[in-house]
Structure 1
Amino acid sequence: MKLLLIQHQGFINGQGGTEKICAFLADHFAGTGHAVEIATCENVTGTAVYVRHPNVKVTNIYSPEIIQKHPRRLWNYPGKHPLRWIAGKIRKKRDKLFNHFLYKNTNGKDGLYLFNLRHRARAWKQFIDATAPDLIITMSLSSVLEITYENTYTIPIVNSTNGRPDYDYSNQLWYRSALEMHCLKAAYGHLAAMQILFDSYQSVIPDTFTGKCVTIPNPVPQVTAANRANLLMKKARYKIVSIASLVMSCKQQDLSIAVFSGIAQKYPQWDLYFWGTGPDESVLRDLVEREGLQNRIFLEGFTDNPMETLKQADIFIFPSKFEGFPLALTEAMAAGLPSIGLRSCSGVNELIRHGENGFLATDSAALQQQLEVLISQPETRQQMGTNAHLSMARYAPEHIIEKWAALVRDMQPR
């Protein structure tokens, strides 16, 4: 069977959960004899970070011939040099004029959005027709829209939903125009099937979807009981860790810093470690410096071995605003760490069972109080860590891939 996996953006050099799942599926199906190709459309160079199987083909269909028009970014000169200030004003007026005529010639912002989408979709249609796969697996709803806008296929399309579905077509998390939301909802009509992460997510699928819906969680690497974190070991220093993209609007590392700063003096043997990269790194470093905790709070960058990092830790802190099925959290739990998250956060509130394998906080005060419980009570840490470790067994990769294999078989023509 010829499988085509499509992640239209972010796959090249991508280090997030979607890229992990895409590579997980590609590696497995290539290893079981399927012809597997991953396709993207990105004006970048680099590698597929997580792909391991040598028979997985990765294709970037990007070409300068795919016509795209973009407004110019309006820029203000930040300095005090008078001539450069004048030049900056002239440049800004020129760019405003350019944008005015761009929107005028493309029927406004919505027209420009459709113009660019239409040209990308045509490139996808040409590529898919030439590739002629038996099944397409898209890694996001936006990828579905990219390939189906004004196009039709007889090839079945299955969408892998790596978040709560309504986050993909609404403006709950960031701005989307009414037109974009309409197009995204309409894209569901092209799907033969979709995978969701939790049964509860079925309630937020729009009625434009009429295909088969299957609940398949994400795979979680398993850790043997002998190799998981030993939370009763006495240490000179203890570690609270967080692994996530450094994006405060979602992951809220600033909240973790504020909570830890409030109790740092009370628990001088404890430190806070952030692993990950992202646009808010410099802001977070400034926050740490303002708190005067450079020797207690550390931003460590990307880790290519998260499980080993987690097994050396004692508590996992994860106060995200929203998630789908957070891989970093599940890896921490598999490693035997008790975790703290927010009760309001989707995904997190499905995985953490409050008071059993971690804590779900209602606000920052509760987050701090629960962190103190885990710091001051090693027996509670150990018991919750054991429960967390055991609760991840159901997500073992072999169980998850069986579900995916069954879905792929179900999509084969009879």
Structure 2
Amino acid sequence: MQVTFVIHAVTSGGAERVMSILANAWAAKGWSITLLTFDDGSAPPFYPINPQVKHIPLGVLGSSSNLLAATRHNIKRIRTLRSAIRASQPDIIVSFLDTTNVLTLLATQQLGIPVIVNEQIHPAMWSIGRIWEWLRQWSYPNASQVVAVTERALSYFSPQVQARGCVIPNPALAVESSEQPLTPYLAKPSLIAMGRLDGQKGFDLLLAAFAQLKDRHPEWTLTILGEGALRAELESLREQLELSDRVHFLGVVNNPNDFLKQADIFVMSSRFEGFPNALCEAMACGLAVISADCPSGPSEIIRHGVDGLLVPTENVSALAGAMERLMSDTEERNRLASHAPEVTERFSLEKIIEMWENLLAKVIQKRTNQYVTKVSLSQG
């Protein structure tokens, strides 16, 4: 099997993580895997890539100052991508993330190669701009398959797109227990959160909720892993809420599981998600978790009251209430934490890989049947 992946770059996001997992797994099986990225390759991939994967940076990533420049830039991207795809001679193409999916579908017109596009977030909650949205609605019906991470995410699209859509959640990887004593990263007891420092992740809501509890629970700290455009704004809010010695922004770390293992409670305050990998990672590490019941993902992952707690989205009081409930009750924390790692069974890598491989086989078989039918008609 020859599979070509397309993604903007292998940075620290969830889509990049899923893509690297699939590419590595299939390369380990002896498949011929090509990875096309839009960056120039100057920065190494954030996630490890199997040496057997042929990674080709195309050097077409960048921003444009106006619409005309953007149009020229994207035409160049399409041409460069089309040439690279043809050179990779794939049986099938798998593309990740909205605008990259559009460019991939435009680049593969008339090539006769099946294309699967993957959406990693709830499209209704994430604007890609009016022109890109029009192009997405126009191009997605040309995809062989549109993969969403939840039913709610897939329901955003037109009936025509949904007819060629399916749901494949992201894998929740089991976490190996360390036999060696871990470096003490966190002061105990500790809350922890993880994600990009942007509006989507709702860290402003988390800080406001924690501020309501700071006097009743003076021994607790909050650690936030991740980087983003709102860091300065969030640090300023931390000072305004008088949390400077209680909330720690540590940026992006390469060993998040070591931090998660040492925390007591994981909190996700997102305004919207797709299928949040950070939440799965926290549960795999055996943490009691609290999450906003945002669209989409948390309610598919957390079994409320069994392995975590769900609270209404953007409700600071409810978030603070759930946090205090677990901060005040060690027994309840431990009960939820004991069931949390079961997420790695429900969304195991083996199950998710099987779903993807079944999809690839289905798409390729459909293409083969269409080719045979076309040949039969031409000979008839």
How far, CA to CA, are the matches of 2:63 and 2:280 in structure 1?
Answer: 41
Within the candidate set 365, 370, 392, 2:317 is matched to 365
Structural mapping, 1:277-292, within 5 Å: 277-292=227-242
Give the conservation status (yes or no) of the 8 Å contact 1:320–1:345.
Answer: no
Relative to structure 1, the CA distance from residue 34 to residue 41 in structure 2 (aligned partners, 3 Å threshold; closer, same or farther) is same
Aligned to 1:42: 39
Deviation of 1:236 after TM superposition, in Å, equals: 7.7
Relative to structure 1, the CA distance from residue 184 to residue 296 in structure 2 (aligned partners, 3 Å threshold; closer, same or farther) is same
TM-score (norm 2): 0.86
Aligned to 1:5: 5
Give the conservation status (yes or no) of the 8 Å contact 1:338–1:357.
Answer: yes
Deviation of 1:147 after TM superposition, in Å, equals: 2.5
Aligned to 1:70: 64
1:308 counterpart = 2:258: yes
1:238 counterpart = 2:189: yes
The one-letter code matched in structure 2 to 1:295 is D
Deviates most, 35-44 or 396-405: 35-44
Deviation per residue, 1:218-246 (Å, 9 max, x gap): 1111147x779xxxxxx982010001111
Aligned to 1:78: none
SS of the counterpart of 1:149?
helix
How far, CA to CA, are the matches of 2:356 and 2:28 in structure 1?
Answer: 14
Aligned to 2:126: 173
SS of the counterpart of 2:159?
coil
The one-letter code matched in structure 2 to 1:3 is V
Deviation of 1:134 after TM superposition, in Å, equals: 1.3
Deviation of 1:412 after TM superposition, in Å, equals: 2.9
1:380 counterpart = 2:337: no
Aligned to 2:75: 118
Structural mapping, 1:210-225, within 5 Å: 212-223=164-175
Within the candidate set 202, 218, 227, 1:268 is matched to 218
Highest CA radius of gyration, 1 or 2?
1
Aligned to 1:159: 117
1:336 counterpart = 2:283: no
Aligned to 1:408: 360
The one-letter code matched in structure 1 to 2:104 is I
How far, CA to CA, are the matches of 1:292 and 1:353 in structure 2?
Answer: 34
Within the candidate set 18, 21, 41, 1:21 is matched to 18
The one-letter code matched in structure 2 to 1:384 is L
SS of the counterpart of 1:316?
strand
Deviates most, 30-39 or 119-128: 119-128
How far, CA to CA, are the matches of 1:291 and 1:278 in structure 2?
Answer: 20
TM-score (norm 1): 0.80
Relative to structure 1, the CA distance from residue 337 to residue 61 in structure 2 (aligned partners, 3 Å threshold; closer, same or farther) is same
Deviation of 1:62 after TM superposition, in Å, equals: 2.1
Structural mapping, 1:130-149, within 5 Å: 130-149=87-106
RMSD of the alignment, in Å? Answer: 2.5
Deviation per residue, 1:240-291 (Å, 9 max, x gap): 00011111x1111111111111111211221100011111222222222223
Give the conservation status (yes or no) of the 8 Å contact 1:185–1:208.
Answer: no
How far, CA to CA, are the matches of 1:383 and 1:23 in structure 2?
Answer: 33
How far, CA to CA, are the matches of 1:312 and 1:388 in structure 2?
Answer: 15
Relative to structure 1, the CA distance from residue 153 to residue 209 in structure 2 (aligned partners, 3 Å threshold; closer, same or farther) is farther
Give the conservation status (yes or no) of the 8 Å contact 1:186–1:208.
Answer: no
Aligned to 1:94: none
Relative to structure 1, the CA distance from residue 130 to residue 389 in structure 2 (aligned partners, 3 Å threshold; closer, same or farther) is closer
Deviation of 1:210 after TM superposition, in Å, equals: 6.9
Aligned to 2:374: none
Give the conservation status (yes or no) of the 8 Å contact 1:118–1:149.
Answer: no
The one-letter code matched in structure 2 to 1:405 is E
Give the conservation status (yes or no) of the 8 Å contact 2:95–2:116.
Answer: yes
Give the conservation status (yes or no) of the 8 Å contact 1:192–1:212.
Answer: yes
Give the conservation status (yes or no) of the 8 Å contact 2:188–2:263.
Answer: no
Aligned to 1:196: 148
How far, CA to CA, are the matches of 1:123 and 1:410 in structure 2?
Answer: 29
Give the conservation status (yes or no) of the 8 Å contact 2:273–2:294.
Answer: no
Relative to structure 1, the CA distance from residue 58 to residue 43 in structure 2 (aligned partners, 3 Å threshold; closer, same or farther) is closer
How far, CA to CA, are the matches of 1:6 and 1:252 in structure 2?
Answer: 29
Identity %: 27
SS of the counterpart of 2:331?
helix
